[in-house]
């Protein structure tokens, strides 16, 4: 056992798009995914636990033990809406190897359900707080790039860390198209404004009918969980990760 | 080979409860498990060696080489007693990956023998020594939580490190119920008093007839082994482990 | 999943020689391989992504996401030319385990296509810049050694790090002959001169008709990619790697 | 691929004893094994390369590339001599996981050839140089312990690091008997005297007819290889390893 995957239901979907929303810089993707799940009443149908997650449990105020986990939700589009798969969770894997395996498992599930397109979300570290965070994109194929640019995003120039970058790369090897959408964020706290920018564009593109006026609720939920677990801000850790660990990558 | 599992006997048991007793904070679980095994004359039927255990052997005064190992014992309940599986050993795995795999193997065995419920034990670091150590619990399902609270434990708020936390989480993915029971301990030495508190509650719940007057014997045995191996107290190492290594776990 | 291998075509080749050209000291092998691929119009037929590569993507000026990858090209010799397999890529694996696995996958593919001989390329750190870099060789069998020496290389005395060394050793276990050819280089930048020396000898031996007058183009391409990714020179990292991590290797 | 095992011949042996001789403290086991192989003209029939060995090759004065490797030799006993399997090599694995896997592979091969008994050799760090190094032993079963003590060894009290310890422990899980024999050594150089003490006892026990007057030759060979590779003495590294990395091993 390395990853344990549970699939509780096999939804029948029409070319679903996979949206990635794991924790990361500014928790932008995480907030956006949580809001989507709640707004669309998306249904959790798969859980993944990886041996590369933390080896502990956490007990919250009510005595309920929580565990590091990834979940996949589906949403059957209503009317013009696109069908969705949403990757949500409370951690990324602790090792490079674990990250690759987690992504591989997610793509196995997505591929089997007919997914041919991936959108990964995230925050882009930006020193100054801005009124309206800028959106940046990168894509693994020209068509996706045009699509992302047409939505108002600028071309990204830099690294896309973790699952947001890996899913695109490993998806491409399976013939899946995809792009990454990052919103500027100071990255020091769960950033509802950045998440809203990202979601605004995604909803427009996928014709999702989601009320975006109260993203602060999902951000607050994320913040509360973070604080009750005593993690504080993830800024230090992310600083460490911003420095590429590569050797000879050209 | 990663884990090598040996099964010497396939006991026929009636919904056995798995009790975890590996070394940890204050050696609370370890002492409790050893005492249970001796008091109930539980029988060892399975050994697990993991590649994530230490790569050395230890020779004791009598020249007998000892190796890092996990053992599983069973107890067929007499009268009202519940059937038990007891996980005992002299180490946890050295890596996160190893911890997950060890737990996976233990659960494989437990599941096959009909186990649907897990109780993990441990110590909860507490600066001051107290007359009667407080008991704290967390559970992976509401029913187990009620059960643990009804036994006099308070709600735990914090991390459950290592195998004690992992078994609950991985068990839950297999549909097993479970709770964790921690007794306050300074954690600097094998703590018979804390082990007694934990065991008192477990024995009451499972109607086990075990004399708890001499837990100091199991604690002394644990202490002697520790000292003869030159390990001293595990306090420093545990301090290191108390700091969560997570990134972005929310 | 640990390595994901894609094979887009199964070329029919006549005893092809595998030439290794991954990034390393002075990017000598990398430049030489890129020049060979372009000069011979070699065709990419296989991609390998390893879980031991970096877990990020990189977005360049045009918004195209790039991923850490290894590629294998083939060249069907024209006239007297030998058939070739060329291993090219933008990274080596981050861990020892990953390096072994990557090499194992490459050899699996090469072996199936009838490859019985390997030439690995690289740079040999040399403090002073020299007019004409000296060539050094080591071989896993006497015949290959004679061949390399007859081409004007001197006997190497030292370590052959990474994939250049591993491919020879793992190839030998499969009965493949092979040698390593290193050119002196200060190693601080993509070194076209060193690459040219290496390639001059390889082309002569394999009767490859490749114009070697403009290796600076491949070097410049390599340099540009490096700089746009913000990696600067790999000198520090390689210094770290020059110190053997072995224990008890004799 | 993690370990690659090559078996060039399947010898028919009569209850062979496995003798371990990998590099370690004072290179005692390594010298002893090399001397046995040369003295008995034992035949190499299996090679193992592990992904947990170093990822480099080494080129010696004559341009021959050498690789980290483990080899197994066999010796068909003449007259009263016992049949032997001898594990020899130029490295141990770099990781705990690798050590377990290497031992597992060696035991797979030994078990299939009918081996039921293991003798591991090594050096025991001793500050002062002594005229005749003391011999110490530990065993995984009472019978082997008696056998080792009857040969004049004293009871060891301490750790048995690496493959010498692991082989005993993993062998025991397969029902193999075994003991470890360590000779006192300053451990700072390849120690012919310590190797001789160990070998004297082993030869007596197994009725091996080997001339032990010139162990300095094997020690010198070991020293030369070490020096030509620029490793110097392994003392620092071994100091690091002497400190147990265990957590909670009791």
A59–B160 C-beta distance less than 8 A: yes
Section D155-177 average pLDDT: 93
Beta-carbon contacts of residue C181 (< 8 Å; ≥ 6 apart): C119, C120, C121, C122, C135, C136, C137, C148, C153, C198, C201, C202
B232 has a pLDDT exceeding 50: no
Helices (H), A126-191: 142-150, 162-173
Torsion of CA D135, D136, D140, D144, to 10 degrees: 40
- What pLDDT is recorded for position A126? 87
Residue B167 or B130, more confident? B167
Q: Which residues of D touch C156 (CB under 8 A)?
A: 59, 63
Q: What Å distances lie between residue D62 and C139, C142, C155, C161, CA to CA?
A: 10, 10, 7, 18
Mean pLDDT of D200-216: 93
What whole-number percentage of chain D has pLDDT above 90? Answer: 70
pLDDT digits (tens, 9 = 90+) for B143-162: 999 999 999 999 998 889 99
Angle ∠(C56,C62,C65) on CA atoms, nearest 5: 20
| Strands annotated E in B32-116 | 43-50, 56-59, 65-66, 70-75, 84-89
Note the pLDDT tens digit of each residue in C30-51. Answer: 999 999 999 999 999 999 999 9
Which residues in C8-61 belong to E strands, given as ranges?
A: 17-21, 43-50, 56-59
DSSP states of A25-74? GGGHHHHHHHHHHHHHT-EEEEEEEETTS-SEEEE-TTSBEE---EEEEE
Identify the pLDDT of residue C187: 86
DSSP C140: S
Residues in a beta bridge with A56: B161
| B39 Cα to chain D: minimum distance (Å) | 20
Alpha-carbon distance B131 to nearest alpha carbon in chain D (angstroms) = 26
Q: For position D128, what pLDDT does the model report?
A: 79
Question: Of the candidates B27, B51, B92, which has its C-beta nearest D247's C-beta?
Answer: B92
Report which of residues D189 and B84 the model is more confident about.
B84
Four-residue CA torsion sign, C175, C181, C187, C191: negative
Size of interface A-B (CB pairs under 8 A): 141
pLDDT range class, residue B227, cuts 50, 70, 90: low
| D127 contacts: CB under 8 Å, gap ≥ 6 | D186
Sheet holding D158-161, edge to edge: B65-66, B56-59, D158-161
Tell me, yes or no, if B2 comes closer than 8 A to chain A by beta carbon: no
Arithmetic mean of pLDDT, B34-55: 95
Residue of B139, B247, B250 lying closest to A63 (CB–CB): B139
CA distance A68 to B170: 10
pLDDT, tens digit (0-9, with 9 covering 90-100), for C67-89: 999 999 999 999 999 999 999 99
pLDDT digits over A146-170, tens only? 999 999 999 998 889 999 999 999 9
**Residue percentage of chain A with pLDDT more than 70:** 89
Among A94-98, A111-115, B69-73, C29-33, the range scoring the smallest mean pLDDT is A94-98
Pairing assessment for the beta strands D84-89 and D117-125 based on DSSP bridges = unpaired
**Of the partner residues A57, A230, A237, the one whose CB lies closest to the CB of residue B247:** A237
Report percent pLDDT > 90 for chain B. 71
- Say if residue C60's pLDDT is above 90: no
CA separation, residue A124 to residues A231, A232, B179, C55 (Å): 21, 19, 40, 17
**pLDDT score of D248 more than 50:** yes
Query: Contact D173/B6 with Cβ under 8 angstroms?
Result: yes
pLDDT at D227 over 70: no
Chain A residues touching B163 at Cβ < 8 A: 55
For residue C126, what pLDDT is reported? Answer: 87
pLDDT band at A41 (very low <50, low <70, confident <90, very high): very high
Contacts of B165 in chain A (CB under 8 A): 55-57, 65, 67
B118 touches chain A (CB under 8 A): no
Judged by CB atoms closer than 8 Å, whether chains meet at D63 and C137 is answered as: yes
ipTM for this model: 0.83
Q: CA-nearest residue of chain D to B51?
A: D97
Separation between Cα atoms, residue A150 and residue C5, nearest integer Å:
34
pLDDT in tens, B174-218: 999 999 999 999 987 899 999 999 999 999 999 999 999 889 888
Q: Which of B24, B63, B91 sits opposite D156 (nearest CB)?
A: B63
Please give the pLDDT value at position B189: 86
Partner-chain residue, chosen from D96, D101, D247, that has the shortest CB–CB distance to B237: D247
Nearest-CA neighbor of C163 among C108, C99, C110? C99
**Is a pLDDT exceeding 70 seen at residue B230?**
no
Separation CA A62–CA D147 (nearest Å)? 60
Question: D63–C145: do the CB atoms touch at under 8 Å?
Answer: yes
Return the biggest CA–CA distance within chain B.
50
Summarised one tens digit per residue, pLDDT across range A8-31 is: 999 999 999 999 999 999 999 999
User: Given C47, C56, C63, which is nearest A145 (Cβ)?
Assistant: C63
User: In 10 A of CB A200, how many CB atoms?
Assistant: 18
Which pLDDT belongs to residue C228? 56
Instruction: Give tens-digit pLDDT for A64-98.
Output: 998 999 999 999 999 999 999 999 998 999 999 99
In the DSSP assignment, the letter for residue D130 is: -
pLDDT tens column, A213-239: 889 888 988 887 666 554 433 333 343
In this prediction, residues B131-148 reach a mean pLDDT of 94
pLDDT given at position A234: 36
The conformation of residue C163, written as its DSSP 8-state character, comes to: H
pLDDT tens digit sequence for D97-150: 999 999 999 999 999 999 999 999 999 998 877 889 999 999 999 999 999 999
- Residue that wins the pLDDT comparison between B19 and B234: B19
SS3 content of chain B, % helix, strand, coil (to 5): 35, 25, 35
Rounded-to-integer distance, Cα D174 and Cα D127, Å? 36
Q: What does the alpha-carbon distance between residue A12 and residue C249 come to, in Å, rounded to a whole number?
A: 57
What is the per-residue pLDDT for C249? 54
Q: Nearest-CA distance from B144 to chain A in Å? A: 10
CB atoms within 10 A of CB B132: 11
Q: Taking all residues of chain A, what is their mean pLDDT, rounded to a whole number?
A: 88
The predicted model scores a pTM of 0.85
**A-chain residues within 8 Å CB-CB of B124?**
none
Can you tell me whether residue A23 is helix, strand or coil? coil
Neighbours of A247 (CB within 10 A): 19
Judge whether residue B21 has pLDDT over 60: yes
Helix (H) or strand (E) holding A19: strand A17-21
Contact A173/C6, CB-based, under 8 Å? Answer: yes
Q: In this predicted model, what pLDDT tens digit does every residue of C151-168 receive, in sequence order?
A: 999 999 888 999 999 999
Residue A249 pLDDT grade (very low, low, confident, very high; cuts 50, 70, 90): low
Which residue would you say has higher pLDDT here, B39 or A214?
B39
Write out D148-194 in H/E/C secondary structure.
HHHCCCEECCEEEEHHHHHHHHHHHHCCCEEEEEEEEECCCCCCHHH
Asked if B3 has any chain A CB less than 8 Å from its own CB, the reply is no
Spatial separation of the C-alpha atoms in residues B145 and B155, rounded to whole Å = 9
Distance CA D4, CA D1 (A): 6
Q: Where are the alpha helices (DSSP H) in B41-161?
A: 96-112, 142-150
Q: How many residues does chain B have?
A: 250
As a whole number, mean pLDDT of residues C110-118 equals 98
What is the token pair recorded at B55? 């790569």
**Looking at the DSSP assignment, which residues form a beta bridge with residue B159?**
A58
Q: Which of D155, D6, D147 is nearest to D82 (CA)?
A: D147
């Amino acid at each position: 056992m390395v990853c344990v995957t549970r699939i509780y239901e096999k939804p029948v979907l029409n070319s679903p798009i996979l949206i990635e929303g794991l924790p990361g810089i500014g928790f932008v993707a995480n907030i956006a995914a949580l809001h989507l799940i709640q707004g669309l009443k998306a249904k959790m149908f798969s859980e993944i636990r990886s041996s590369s997650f933390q080896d502990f449990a956490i007990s919250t105020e009510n005595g309920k033990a929580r565990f590091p986990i990834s979940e996949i939700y589906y949403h059957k589009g209503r009317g013009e809406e696109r069908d969705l798969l949403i990757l949500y969770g409370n951690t990324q894997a602790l090792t490079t190897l674990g990250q690759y395996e987690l992504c591989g498992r997610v793509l196995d599930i997505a591929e089997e359900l007919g997914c041919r397109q991936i959108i990964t979300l995230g925050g882009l570290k930006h020193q100054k707080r801005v009124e309206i965070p800028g959106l940046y994109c990168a894509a693994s194929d020209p068509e996706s790039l045009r699509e992302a640019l047409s939505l108002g995003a600028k071309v990204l120039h830099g690294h896309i860390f973790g699952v947001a970058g890996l899913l695109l790369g490993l998806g491409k090897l399976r013939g899946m198209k995809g792009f990454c959408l990052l919103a500027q964020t100071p990255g020091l706290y769960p950033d509802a404004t950045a998440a809203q920018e990202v979601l605004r564009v995604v909803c427009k593109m996928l014709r999702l009918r989601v009320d975006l006026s109260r993203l602060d609720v999902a951000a607050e939920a994320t913040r509360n969980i973070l604080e009750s677990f005593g993690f504080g801000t993830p800024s230090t850790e992310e600083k460490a990760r911003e420095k590429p660990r590569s050797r000879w990558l050209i």
